[in-house]
Every structure is written in C-alpha cells, then in structure tokens.
Chains A and B, each alone.
Chain A
Amino acid sequence: MKTIRVKKGYNPKVIGSPSTESLKAAQPTRLALVPEHIPFMKLRLKVRKGDRIALGSPLVEDKRNTNIQLLAPGSGRVADIRFGPRRVIQEIIIQLDENQKTVEFQSYSQKDIDKMSRDALVQTLVTGGVWPLIKELPFRDYARPDFVPPLLFVSLGSLEPFHPAPQVYLRGNEDLFNFGVSVLNKLAEGRVYVCSHRADTELASSLNGLVNLTYTGNYPAHDPGVLLYHVKSSPAENRSWFVDGQDVVSIARLLRNGVYPTERVVSLGGSGAPQPKHLITRMGAPLSVLADDQTENETWRYIQGGILTGCGALARSHLGFSESALNLLPEGNHKGELLGLFNPGYRKPSFSRAFLSAMNREELMMDCSMHGGERACIACGYCALVCPVDILPQFTYKAILAGEVEESLEHGLLDCVECALCSYVCPSKIELFETLKNAKAEFYKEKEQDH
C-alpha cells in the first residue's frame, strides 16, 4: 500500500475534540435545504413558499445543467425561503408533516450495479440528487457527469479540527460503504483511492483491505487535493474527483433503499461545545437541535465545517447541504490583556516559535480574534512553510493582485487545496487564502463562460 508523507502543513492543537460517542439528536420539526455554500451552482427555485413537497422532490436546479437538482430533505410544507444579499438562496425551510411522503427511486443490488452501464449509473445518481456530493478537482465544483475521471479519491476522516471520525459514521455501515466504493469504482473505471490516516489501522482492517492509500503528516494531509498533488504523475490527472467517506455511505443508501438519503452523522466540537461528541441527525437539521444555547458570558461563533475552512453561521440557521461538522468557538471580540504583547505566551497557540507555547503540547483555547492589525507583507515566509502543495503564497498573491493570471497559474494556483493555513499563520494578517480562493474561482467562471 502506498503511503503519502506530507512534510508541510500544521496541526492546530485546539480544545474540544469530539469523543467517538454518538447520540441520536432530538427529532427536528423543520428541516432546511441550505445550498448557500455550494460553490459555483447557479440555482433556480422549483418550489414556492407554501408548496407541499415530498422527501426527495426537487427544490432547486442548477441553471448550468438543469439535470442537477437538489432534493428536499424532508416532506412537508415550504415554510420560508430565505434570501441573502443579491438574492442568493440561503435556506429553503420545510415544516415537517407527521406523515412523511417520499419520492420512490429504484433500488439496486450489487449485481444490478455490476450489470449496469456507466451512463445509466450516472443518470441514476443525478436523478437521485446525490451527484453534487461528487466533487471535481481543482475547483471543487460538482463533477462533470459526462467525464471519466483519471482518479477518484475517497477520504476517510479529516485532520482539520473537527470533523466526524470515520469510525463513527462507518460503525455498522461497513457493508454500505463497500457497496458505495464499488459504485465509485464503476464511475472511475477502477481508479479509486480509498484514503485513510496510516495510524488508523483498526479502521483499515474493519474495511477488509478497501483502504489503498494512507497518509501521514499534519493538516491538511488528508485532503484529496494534497494526496493528488503527491500522487499525480502527469497534468492529465489534475481533474480527479473526490468524495467524502460519509457521502459514499449516502450514495450507497440511495441505491440500496431507493430513498433520498438524509441521515447524517455530525460532529459537534470546539471549546464552546459542552460535551464534544457525534450526533446522528438529518441533513438540514436546525443547529439549535445540535448545540444547546450557550448561556455563558462569551459570544460563540457557530462554524459549519472545520474551524479553519468552515463558515460562520447564525445559531438559528440549519445544517448546510454537504456539511457534517459544527464547531463552536468563542468570538474573542474584546481587547487583549494589558501588555499582552510581552506575554511569554505559554497558552497562546502559534505556528511560529515566538511564543512559549512552542513547548506546550496541550490542547489550547482558540478564538476568532485576528490577534493583530493588518500590515504589508514582511516576507517572513511562514505561508510557504505551511503550504502543503508547495505554492509560494506570498508571491502568488502579489501576482494575483497585479493581475498576472498566467504567472499565478504557473505558481500552482490551481493546486491550492483551500486549506486556509496561509491566512492562519500570516503575522501581517493578510487574507491570502481569500485572495487565492477568489482568484481560482474567478478563473473557473471565466473558463466556463468561454465554453
């Protein structure tokens, strides 16, 4: 088995790692489809407020390819549609009915899948609403249905604090996962890498040799983009696909049961979570059923996704379309302590060695403070030290700001795995990650328009 050793990157040690205990969350009375953070999709509503809908009926379609639809996570009445700035669809809220009506899809056995043509399989996944769970590198848009990927990565687990542990969401679902991987094997014509951390030997053995690529190293060594960067031997492989481990289970559920899969294992972590753990809930569940209201003096930031790449969310909002992590961090919106600048900093986490915390192995408190003002780049080079795909963010971002698209591409802009470490470590508090990510997205949109 191949092992990828990632030398760069960084593991922020933060309090609030979820235990492997998993509880059933309270049954929600409403669910929402939250498409806001799915990149690049141009959505058209297919329902109106007040419509009655069944679980699995289409709510929105992508204007770029109307076959790609996002389906209702529950059956009931469309209670509200919330729009953000520029009429971005933020949430389609469904008030659940007592009797859940479901749209019936066909169910398949392993044999059916083996006999099926690849095209028919793609069609089944698209109609079943799970296609957007399959992503394509480097832009992380959903995969192009008419394209055969050079490689397909299935990632089990994440090194970013904090995401669901594969041990938890695979518990009892090993068969489904196996089935899901066979489906993906058909899609990628056998070129599938199932990736887990090398230390997770128990996980690998519970999957009977399914894991065929392991990694070691710091965050984001788990990321399919990082793995691809280390595995690839030619530019032809740049457009590889990837699927998260839990989404593989979802895909398998759709095909096995013929019902749109909405069950989700969500990790609840961060220093604001009273008992960091895993919760079994449904897609689009209100965050309030996952994390109780915080009563302490601190204001908490609800983060959907990991503490680095995740998005801040309102406490009254719902779980995003493909999100499976909720982390609570203190906002930290208050002034620092007197002369904190001169504090040796045994409890102040930092990538640098400028604090005594460099010798502290404990998990430490982190908040959302910027910890400093914005300055011009002083060329400390920390961003290049952490970048897992050897981009020189300090040079690349200057090329982007100067409008030199070609130069930034030459620097490997498209290899960027959007791990956000460059912004994290920057002492000048430059939004490197935001700049690189936007430049990448801009490039993609222009490219799409050309076609």
Chain B
Amino acid sequence: MNRIARFFESTRRHFEKGGKLEKLWPFYESIESVFFAPARVSQVAPNTRDNLDVKRYMMLVIVALLPHYAFGVYNVGYQSHLASGLGTNFWPVIWTGLKAVVPIVVVVYVVGFAWETLFAAIRKHEMSEGVLVTCALLPLTLPPTIPLWQAALGISFGLVIGKEIFGGTGRNFLNPALTGRAFLYFAYPAQNSGDAIWTVLSGARTAAVDAFSGATPLSIAAVTGPSGSIQTAFSDAGYSTAKLFFGLYPGSIGGTATFLSIAGAAFLIILGIANYRIILGCILGLLCSGLLLNLISAEGSAPYLSLNPLQHLIIGGSMFAFAYMATDPVSAAHMQGARWVFGFGIGALTVLIRVYNPAFPEGVGLAVLFMNLFAPLLDHIEIKFRLRKRIPNV
C-alpha cells in the first residue's frame, strides 16, 4: 500500500498546477481516486454525506459486465474453433478469444479515455465515470471481426456526438454506447451486418468449414419464408432452447448470453443501481407485442409473427440491452411511472423492428435509442400529473 501511495505522492506534482502535465490533471485525478478516495470534506450542510458516489455506482455496472467478458472471450474462441475446424479444448479456445477481444477492448478504452480526458481538461472538471461503462458496453455489442479502426471510430462517435457535445455524462439524452453502435451499423454495413461477421476465423482460413453455418438465430428467424417454420429452422441449425438461453452461438462479443444478462439484471436491481421498473417494463412490452403478433398472424403470414414471445426474449441481445442499456439512468425516463412506459416501449418496439424490418435483424438497440428520445416527454407528462395533486404553496 505504501509503495502505491508513494507513487501517487511523487507523481502528483507533475499534474498539479504549475506542473509539466497540469492539463492532464483530470486524467491523473481519475486514476488516483480509483486507488484512494480523495480527502474532501463537506463545506455546507449536511455535514455528513452518503458513502455512495458515482464512481462506486458505475463500478458496480462494470462488475456486472465482467462475466459477459469472460463468456464473450470463450464464445468468440469457441465459435472460431468450430468454424475453422479446430479442436475445442478450453485453453486454446480462450487464447483465440483473447486474441480477438482484447485488442478491441484496449482500443476502445484508450480512445474513449483520450476523448474524455480532452473534454475534461477543456472544461476543467473531473472526469466522469460514465466513460468507463460506455467503454465496457460498446465492445460487448460489436462483432468480434470488427476492424480496430472502426471500433475506435464507434467509441469516438458514441462519446463525442452521443454525449460530450451535450455537456458530458448526465446531460446526454441518448445512450452513448448504443449511439456508437448504431453509427457503425449504418456507416459500415459491410463489416457490421450479415452472418459472416460474427465469427472470427483462425489461422489462414478465409471461409468457415462446411459443417459450420454461422447464421445467427435472428437471421434465421428473419429469412424463414411463409411456407417454413422457425422451430424447424432453429432445430435444423442446432438452436435448442437451452443453446439460445446460454448464448453459445455466433453473435456479438458478449451480448448473446441471456442467462448472464438475467443474473446481471438481478445483481443491479438488488444493489439498487438498475431500476427494476425499466427491465420488467421491457420484458412485459416484448412479451405483449410478441403475443399480439401471434394473435394477428394468419395462414400465409411470415412465420416470424408466430414466434413464441419467450423465444424473442432469449434470442439475440434483447435481454442484454434491457439489463444494461435501457437502464442507463441518464438517458432513460427519470420518473417511476414513466420508466414502466419507457421500458414497455422498448420491448414492444424490439419485436416490431425484428419482425417487420428485416434490414435490422436485432431491433433492440434502435428501440432503446428511439425510446431515449421519448423519455423526456414521458417524464414531462408524469410530472404534470403529479404536480396537479399538490396543495399549492406560493
């Protein structure tokens, strides 16, 4: 402990006023305060303050995301070995996964921190921890084959356009990680859509082995024609319910693991970080609109309409987005009632986009962004109703 404390004591002067690196003070402060909470006391009432700060709040989200990274590394390696016709022993698979995932994460964090430091230095305030979560979320939504420069561009767009130009964490109205993801999707469709992008090929291979299809459940569901059946298509491709639930299939780096998302959501709800109203609202909205489509599907309509709503919940990244993206407190609705509506809207739109817009196999990201836009309106309506009940005091 002493050595670390001494390291900070000796380096601090370079970053303090008058030091060579004084402009980088926010960067230094953000690192130091992770190791040692700053010595700062209350100047005005209340004299005592809660132990919770934004750092802890955001750190807990990252803790919830760590299992997704572990899963993501394994899954990326596993799919890669399957597609390349290699064995699936544990350590080689992990090694392949690490080789694919770590560079993306490193690039995203380095670029993200650079932007955040720049804006914090110009605005002369401390770095906000929101960037840590954004940088942790974005790679989990990316395909493992993404070129690193695109990952850098994605986090840049997400942070700068999605957040910083509005004033930084707390003043953004869109989820920054999803903004970056959506930008990549629309700007570089070749590297961000289709079936081939979800699997990293090992060695010198340019195509997967014949036995490996690489098709994601979402794309299978979307392309199944009126004469076919999704259930048959799923079982032909080897997608049992258990496989869909555990997420061990080609997909974004860590977003397919529905079971981890449910565990993470429970973790964050118990700790009071994520709001259960949003998550339950999402699930409810998804099930309701899935059910509605079941009801209106007739003979000859696309089989996607009659997909079991529960299957909508476990395929793709819907649960991941519900647990970690929709619950971003800043861009979500702020009022308790509005949070239900906000969540419900996300769930319902997810199904509608998936089923009616085959150009976007995974609709949940766009659904979250779309509802982000409506969150202030929902809040406004609820506040108006609430204020009406008050006995005026002026």
Q: Which residues of A contact B (CB under 8 A)?
A: 12, 14, 138, 232-235, 238, 301, 303, 307-312, 329, 331-342, 345, 348-355, 357, 366-381, 390, 392, 394-395, 409-412, 414-415, 420-421, 423-429, 431, 433-434
Contacts and interface: CB of A to CB of B under 8 A. Distances in A.
A412 B393 contact: yes
B10 interface: no
By CB atoms of chain A within 10 A, which of B34, B271, B383, B393 has the most?
Answer: B393
Given A377-B170, A380-B329, A235 B55 contact: no
Given A338-B4, A368-B41, 17 more contacts: A138-B393, A308-B45, A311-B45, A340-B36, A354-B271, A369-B37, A370-B41, A372-B38, A372-B53, A372-B56, A373-B40, A376-B170, A381-B329, A392-B335, A423-B46, A427-B50, A429-B49
Interface in B92-135: 125-126, 128-130
Contacts, number: 212
A225 B170 CA distance: 32
The 5 nearest A-B residue pairs measured at CB? A372-B53, A336-B37, A376-B170, A420-B46, A308-B46
Contacts of B125: 374
Contacts of B288: none
Contacts of B332: 379
A138 B386 CA distance: 21
B47 A414 contact: no
B300 interface: no
B318 to A, nearest CB: 24
Interface in B316-361: 329-330, 332, 334-336
Contacts of A420: 45-46
Interface string B40-61: 1110111111111111110110
Interface in B253-303: 270-273, 275
A369 B50 contact: no
A433 B45 contact: yes
A205 B391 CA distance: 34
Interface of B: 1, 4-5, 29, 33-42, 44-57, 59-60, 125-126, 128-130, 167-171, 270-273, 275, 329-330, 332, 334-336, 383, 386-387, 390-394
Contacts of A335: 5, 36-39
Contacts of A370: 38, 40-42, 49
B46 A427 contact: no
Contacts of B50: 349-352, 371, 424-427
Contacts of B167: 376
Contact of B390 (A12, A14, A390): A390
Nearest to A234: B391
Contacts of A336: 36-38
Contacts of B386: 390, 392
B46 A369 contact: no
Given A340-B37, A373-B126, A414 B49 contact: no
A376 B128 contact: yes
A141 to B, nearest CB: 15
5 contacts: A235-B391, A338-B35, A342-B59, A372-B56, A425-B50
B47 A341 contact: no
Given A332-B41, A354-B271, A379-B170, A369 B55 contact: no
Contact of A235 (B39, B56, B170, B392): B392
Contacts of B59: 341-342
A429 B48 contact: no
A339 B56 CA distance: 11
A332 B343 CA distance: 42
A433 B45 CA distance: 8
Contacts of A414: 393-394
Contact of A378 (B41, B44, B330, B392): B330
By CB atoms of chain A within 10 A, which of B1, B50, B334, B336 has the most?
Answer: B50
Nearest to A339: B35
Contacts of A409: 393-394
Contacts of B270: 353
A138 B270 CA distance: 37
Contacts of A423: 45-46, 49
A333 B169 contact: no
A309 to B, nearest CB: 5
Nearest to B30: A373
Contact of A372 (B37, B48, B271): B37
A307 B1 CA distance: 32
Given A354-B272, A427-B50, A232 B391 contact: yes
A377 B335 CA distance: 14
B52 A424 contact: no
Contacts of B36: 335-338, 340
A352 B129 CA distance: 18
By CB atoms of chain B within 10 A, which of A331, A334, A369, A373 has the most?
Answer: A373
A368 B45 CA distance: 10
